[in-house]
Amino acid sequence: MQTSKTESYIDEHRLFWFRINRPEKRNAIDYDVMNDLEHALGEAQANPLVRAFIITGAGEQSFCSGGDLSVFHSLYTKEDAYAMLSRMGAILFKLMTLPLPTYALINGTAIGGGCEIASACDQRWAMPHARMGFVQGDLGITTGWGGASMLFEKVPSPQALQMLNSANIYTAVEAERLGFIQKVLEKSEVGSMVVESLVESSAVLRSYKQALITKWEQTNLKERMLAEIEQCAYLWEQDEHHMAVARFLQSKKK
């Protein structure tokens, strides 16, 4: 059952929209949002008429700020962290391998796990004011939901490593130059441009996506993501990470 923390619907063009609706939390991910996203992905896959899946955030400020640290900071051990990380990683694997075209509409800031969600999508379109970056390194951890493995499938390795290693935050135009973003566009253009980018037949669209999924199955994408998640869980329980999270949460109180 969908909660008030998300919104989803199918529009007149048979596009399935999923919106994270927590603007007061910068559209951060908690367990309810995880469950809603998994449910929406199941609905989209089961409906043969759906032509594409689009994920975005409510408001104009944030696409997704990653995991909700006010919820997940209580996870202290490697085992606790792995339970949460592998849960979201499995959901993002479903998004990555959803057998229809997927779009991340980055309508504001996308950091940390927000960029991992975007990496799971086939297309990443951003509004001009959007900012994005894999900032996990500044918290003493790596991408924890399989984001690096997915990023290496979408962006050339040198640019992907630059984004991951630096933990820098990029403008939409800078991210487009790196190959992370495919289009920078205004919000009013999104619906029409998605429609124009797709043929009418959902069967054709799903067939092409299945060919790509088959490639990922042959290169053990799921196993690579799981190994990445295990490494993040190990780093999660280290003092470096817990101290960085404490400093971050303290800065938000000022």
Q: How would you label 36-75 residue by residue, b for 16+ Cβ within 10 Å and e otherwise?
A: bbbbbbebbbeeeebbbbbbbbbbeebbbbbbbbeebeeb
Per-block average pLDDT, block size 10, for the chain (254 residues)?
88 97 97 98 98 97 94 90 97 98 98 98 98 96 98 98 98 98 90 94 98 98 98 94 84 71
Which CA distances in Å does 174 have to 34, 152, 164, 171, 223?
Answer: 29, 18, 15, 5, 31
In whole angstroms, what is the distance from residue 100 CA to residue 46 CA? Answer: 11
What is the CB neighbour count within 10 angstroms for residue 210?
A: 12
Alpha helices by DSSP H, the chain: 31-46, 69-72, 78-96, 113-119, 147-154, 157-166, 172-178, 190-196, 202-218, 221-236, 239-253
Tokens of 111: 């950091």
User: Which of 177, 171, 18 shows the shortest CA–CA distance to 91?
Assistant: 18
In whole angstroms, what is the distance from residue 146 CA to residue 96 CA? Answer: 10
- The angle at the Cα of 203, spanning 181 to 176, to the nearest 5 degrees, equals 5
- Return the amino acid letter for 55: I
Q: What phi, psi does 184 have (nearest 5°)?
A: -110, 120
User: Which of 115, 128, 110, 104 shows the shortest CA–CA distance to 194?
Assistant: 104
Position 254 scores a pLDDT of 62
Look at the alpha carbons of 140, 144, 148, 154 in this order and tell me if their dihedral is positive or negative: negative
Assess contact for 129 and 106: CB atoms under 8 A.
no
The residues near 65 (Cβ < 8 Å, ≥ 6 apart) are 25, 26, 27, 28, 109, 110, 111, 112, 113, 114
Q: Which CATH class is domain 6-189?
A: alpha beta
Position 189 scores a pLDDT of 87
Residue 244, beta-bridge partner list = none
Tokens of 20: 């994270």
